[in-house]
Structure 1
Amino acid sequence: MITNGFTKKERVHVESVITALFAKGNFSLYAPPFRFSWVILEPTSVACQILVVSSKKKLKSSVDRNRQKRQLRELYRLHKNELTEPLKQLKLSIALSVIYTGIESLQVVKHTPYFIKALHKIAIAIQKDHKLSIHSAH
């Protein structure tokens, strides 16, 4: 059964993983107005852990930043199966950071198709990388 919940296990909270997400040389995708970066983790019970970041430089008010992060988490919660299902098939776990880089405030209805398309691109990139690593190991 596919569930749309968003549990605590699905949130990135380990400092070493957060540091790895923002280190140079990791996987990233810029799909305007979103920037994604991810690292492959040891397989866990959760296919994807997520970290949502809101820029203090672009949104000065903490109320606005928190609203934006809440909306991004909701977008992910509703459409996470686009990414988690391929990861479960590959038996992989990743940590994913999502940053909204748009100038105007996040409009969920307007930006949902871009978010879904970006999740598809991430899933495809992970599948290609996984196939390459399997072939290079043999």
Structure 2
Amino acid sequence: MKQTYGKVEKLKSKIIIEKLFTEGKSVSAYPLRLVYLKTNFEDSVSVKTGVSVSKRNFKLAVDRNRIKRLLREAYRLNKNEYLGTISSQYAFMIIYSGKDIPTYDFVDKKVNILFEKFTKSQAEHL
């Protein structure tokens, strides 16, 4: 797996996103929550990921976009470590629900905890 987050890896399908929130499972490391769903994609990518920040907590688009950039970068740099050996296809949504703008180090630490919990929950299901 390359350390990229290209167009094919982005979760864009409204149908899959809707299904993700109705049928998906989640793990959390406050203020982050990862909602995931085992699914099948037409392309050969193993994971498609989206990020979300609440408009209620961050009225300014500048702030929401900054947090989303931090989330995507932390995901991009850490995905190989946790998702490199994944065998099935998953849809992920990373949601930030905090009230203040985080630093990159904070987001990176929380993303690591989030993916450790995800891999642990997947190991229990096997």
Using the size of structure 1 for normalisation, the TM-score is 0.83
Structure 2: 5+ residue runs without aligned partners?
Answer: none
Shift of 1:47: 1.6
Percent identical among aligned pairs is 29
Larger of the two Rg values belongs to structure: 1
Shift of 1:9: 0.8
Compare relative contact order (CA 8 Å, sep 6+) and give the higher one, 1 or 2: 2
Shift of 1:127: 2.8
Tell me which residue corresponds to 1:66: 65
Tell me which residue corresponds to 1:9: 8
Shift of 1:124: 1.9
Give the paired residue count. Answer: 125
Q: 1:114 aligns with which of 110, 121, 124?
A: 110
Structure 1: 5+ residue runs without aligned partners?
Answer: 132-138
Q: Distance in 1 between matches of 2:46 and 2:97?
A: 25
Q: 1:95 aligns with which of 75, 91, 96?
A: 91
Q: Which runs of 4+ in 1 moved over 4 A?
A: none
Please provide the CA RMSD for this pair. Answer: 1.5
**TM alignment of 1:42-53, pairs within 5 A:** 42=40, 44-53=43-52
Shift of 1:128: 2.2
Shift of 1:114: 2.0
Q: Distance in 1 between matches of 2:2 and 2:77?
A: 9
Match of 2:85, SS state, is helix
Shift of 1:65: 0.8
CA contact (8 A) 2:35 2:94 kept: yes
Using the size of structure 2 for normalisation, the TM-score is 0.90
